């Protein structure tokens, strides 16, 4: 098909409105999967000044698309206006017609696209459909940021796995807990808040059975204004040991719980979990009998997950780091030491596997209360 260069020229204010579109898309991050969370802004000229006449984000569950929401808001003002979209408008017939067609039919004269799509049904076809309708098209404005905003969507299509962020919380002396000590508070309230926002922006969250047994966690989002944003909960549980009486299983009716297990699990265990409303997914094991990380991630992507947050514990974090499939690490460090009996965060691997690894770049460092949070990203 036609991959001729786009016709349009970049204008000085294009970046400003693309930034606004990025902020719109972020509003529904974590709740649009399997779709990406796209942002769209429609800008009309009024007395020579650009004015925003419509804004939209991909709706929860993935439809309607961002462009449709923004066009509905703009109404007649869309005629002759410019649309800013973080991702190439779709070109396929889904539950509704293609967004590229909706834009041209609404009279949009110019479309500024952050990045081309990776979905083969859309890639380059959306831009082509617009050009064929006589719409001026510009691509690549804040392209890197727009790609990063939906990196999970790109990874799911290109690599068959979600984007993986590993969250680690260590004490001042580098431990995640104390042996036999139950749940130890490592970081303060500000970091907990930050973690709940991260959870809200993830499609799915994953912990190992060790953590599930030791802490009996809920893994939900408990923040004002962010209710209904809890990610789907996955457990690495090679022998399907998750107790039927656990918080996770008891709340499976509200927020889905999925157990990733291996052929080592007994039929009795898996049947009991299924009866309790848990989805049981059997994946291959590695030589040590542990869940094969790549196979597990493939199963998640197959179910639509684009952004996964891994919350430990040590064995699970070690498996993920060993697999080489961790894309981001969020490391929070508390103010107090644990001392005797401390549990290392990555099992047999030193934390320097991440913090001292040139493949991981420190993208931000912030202080939250008495704690420090460092965000690392693996170079592409």
Residue 357's contacts (CB-CB under 8 Å, 6 or more residues apart) are none
Q: Closest CB to ligand AOF among 35 and 246?
A: 35
Q: How far apart are CA 324 and CA 327, in angstroms?
A: 8
If binding is defined by CB under 5 A, does position 103 make contact with Zn ion?
no
8 Å CB contact between 344 and 182 = no
Q: How far apart are CA 106 and CA 85, in angstroms?
A: 15
Q: Closest CB to ligand AOF among 21 and 168?
A: 21
Among the options 67, 88, 201, 328, which is catalytic? 67
8 Å CB contact between 132 and 303 = no
Task: Give me the residues that bind ligand AOF (CB under 6 A), please.
Answer: 35-36, 38, 58, 62-63, 65-67, 87, 89-90, 94, 99, 117, 119, 122
Q: How far apart are CA 197 and CA 167, in angstroms?
A: 12
If binding is defined by CB under 5 A, does position 55 make contact with Zn ion?
no
Answer yes or no: 15 catalytic: no
> 28 touches which of Zn ion, ligand AOF, none (CB within 5 to 8 A by kind)?
none
If binding is defined by CB under 5 A, does position 90 make contact with Zn ion?
yes
The correct pick among 65, 153, 156, 229 for binding Zn ion (CB under 5 A) is: 65
Q: How far apart are CA 34 and CA 304, in angstroms?
A: 4
8 Å CB contact between 341 and 176 = no
Q: Closest CB to ligand AOF among 67 and 220?
A: 67
Residue 199 annotated as part of some ligand binding site: yes
Residues in the chain: 380
Give just the sign of the alpha carbon dihedral 369, 198, 255, 223.
positive
Q: Closest CB to ligand AOF among 38 and 219?
A: 38
8 Å CB contact between 36 and 150 = yes
If binding is defined by CB under 5 A, does position 122 make contact with Zn ion?
no
Q: Which residues are annotated as a binding site for substrate?
A: 199, 219, 222, 311
Residues designated as active site: 67
The binding site consists of 65, 90, 99, 169, 199, 211, 215, 219, 222, 238, 311, 313-319
Q: Which residues in this chain contact Zn ion in the complex, by CB under 5 A?
A: 65, 90, 99
């Amino acid at each position: 098909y036609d991959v001729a260069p786009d016709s349009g020229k970049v204008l000085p204010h294009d970046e400003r409105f693309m930034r606004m579109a990025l902020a719109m898309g972020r509003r529904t991050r974590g709740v649009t999967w399997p779709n990406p969370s796209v942002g769209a802004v429609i800008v009309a000229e009024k007395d020579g000044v650009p004015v925003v006449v419509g804004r939209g984000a991909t709706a929860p569950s993935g439809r309607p698309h961002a462009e449709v929401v923004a066009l509905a808001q703009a109404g007649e003002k869309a005629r002759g206006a410019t649309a800013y979209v973080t991702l190439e408008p779709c070109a396929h017939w889904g539950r509704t017609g293609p967004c590229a067609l909706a834009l041209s039919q609404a009279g949009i004269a110019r479309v500024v696209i952050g990045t081309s799509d990776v979905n083969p049904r859309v890639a380059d076809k959306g831009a082509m459909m617009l050009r064929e309708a006589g719409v001026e098209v510009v691509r690549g404005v804040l392209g890197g940021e727009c790609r990063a905003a939906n990196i999970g969507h790109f990874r799911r299509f290109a690599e068959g796995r979600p984007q993986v962020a590993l969250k680690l919380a260590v004490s001042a002396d580098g431990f995640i807990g104390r042996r036999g000590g139950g749940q130890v508070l490592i970081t303060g309230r500000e970091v907990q808040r930050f973690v709940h926002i991260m959870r809200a922006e993830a499609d799915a969250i994953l912990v190992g059975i060790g953590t599930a047994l030791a802490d009996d966690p809920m893994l939900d989002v408990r923040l004002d204004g962010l209710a209904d944003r809890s990610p789907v909960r996955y457990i690495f549980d090679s022998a399907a040991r998750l107790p039927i009486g656990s918080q996770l299983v008891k709340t499976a009716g509200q927020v889905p719980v999925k157990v990733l297990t291996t052929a080592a699990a007994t039929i009795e265990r898996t049947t009991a979990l299924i009866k309790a409303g848990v989805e049981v997914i059997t994946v291959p094991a590695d030589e040590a009998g542990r869940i094969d990380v790549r196979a597990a991630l493939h199963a998640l992507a197959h179910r639509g997950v684009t952004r996964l947050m891994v919350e430990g514990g040590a064995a699970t974090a070690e498996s993920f780091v060993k697999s080489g499939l961790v894309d981001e690490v969020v490391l929070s460090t508390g103010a107090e030491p644990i001392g005797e009996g401390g549990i290392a965060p990555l099992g047999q691997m030193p934390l320097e596997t991440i913090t001292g690894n040139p493949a991981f770049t420190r993208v931000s460092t912030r202080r939250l209360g008495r704690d420090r949070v460092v965000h690392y990203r693996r170079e592409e």
